[in-house]
Amino acid sequence: MPASETPALSIVDAQIHLWGTGLPNNQAHRQVTAFTAGEAIALMDAGGVDAAVIHPPSWDPGSTDLALAAVRDYPGRFAILGSLPLEDSAAAAIATWRDQPGMLGLRFLLLNEPYRSWAADGTLDWLWAAAEAAGVPIALLATDSLGDVAGIAKRFPGLRLTIDHLGGRGGNTTLKDAAAMTHMPALLALAKHPNVAVKATGLPGYSAEPYPFPTMQGYLRQVFDAFGPDRVFWGTDITKMPCSWRACVTMFTEELPWLGADDKRLIMGAAVRAWWGWPAAGEAPPGPAG
């Protein structure tokens, strides 16, 4: 390769949903009864997206099986963050969670009761302890519980936590721009915990402005400055976005002059692969999470 050339970015979307039945219970999603792996692959190819991490949605009881089939049918293109019932002490399942094909970790929503209280009062400590012991990363939609997440991160320093959607509620809010980002001080405070990362997913959905969503760029810069490129992960939650997959990509790759080439390499895919333990083809698996 000539010295003047740089390798193409390997772009990994940190969050998408696939489903095969039922309408999404979150009205921000496309109100269609299916969004399949084949549809996603066609759109990913058009948008320049190499791979994506599926988060099976709750409204389709078969969504985990659908995700596992996507991993099988499109090798290297998909991985999964699954879930377990938080009402059950499922430590035994967590111990072998990553033995499932393509399964990287777990993802939970703490926006509503009783889950918010359980995160605050220690009820879920069995979960954090089991995931830490097994090296299973966990992602959280936890806007009102970011202070509690700080305590969890401190008590379980070997547990890799990821905060969804720039710390906000994603499609669970209709607030836009500054009104959707009032939690930002609590999110930035989490940066001091080296085992906490942030998904920069769904940013266009927070904005009332047109592309390239300048107000959201300012909040993204704050998160980047606090967490650094190793702990900020690009992604879309594409079925909620008001723009194309390509626009979600170029918002980061073409509209942020303060991101250097290595920053982009990390944020657009390399960092999330390292954090969640999903090596690209030809790469050695990372060591245990720490």
Provide the β-strand partners of residue 103: 80
Number of domains in the chain: 1
- CA atoms of 53 and 259, how far apart (whole Å): 23
Q: Say which residues have a Cβ less than 8 Å from residue 52's Cβ, sequence separation at least 6.
A: 12, 13, 15, 16, 40, 44, 77, 78, 235
User: Quick check: is 283 in a domain?
Assistant: no
Specify the CATH number for the domain of residue 176: 3.20.20.140
- Partners of 232 in beta bridges: 198
Is residue 282 situated within a structural domain? no
To the question of pTM greater than 0.85 for the whole model, the response is: yes
Range of the domain at 137: 12-276
Q: Is residue 140 domain-resident?
A: yes
Please check whether residue 42 lies inside any domain of the structure: yes
> Mind listing the pLDDT tens digit of every residue in the chain (290 residues)?
334 344 578 999 999 999 999 999 888 898 999 999 999 999 999 999 999 999 999 999 999 999 999 999 999 999 999 999 887 778 889 999 999 999 999 999 999 999 999 999 999 999 999 999 999 999 999 999 999 999 999 999 999 999 999 999 999 999 999 999 999 999 999 999 999 999 999 999 999 999 999 999 999 999 999 999 999 999 999 999 999 999 999 999 999 999 999 999 999 999 999 999 999 876 765 544 43
Distances (CA, A) of 117 to 110, 131, 148: 9, 20, 10
Residues 232/224, Cβ–Cβ less than 8 Å: yes
Residue 254 inside a domain? The answer is yes
Q: Is residue 61 part of a domain?
A: yes
- The verdict on residue 36 lying in a domain is yes
Flag whether 106 is in a domain. Answer: yes
| Number of helices and strands in the chain (H, E) | 11, 8
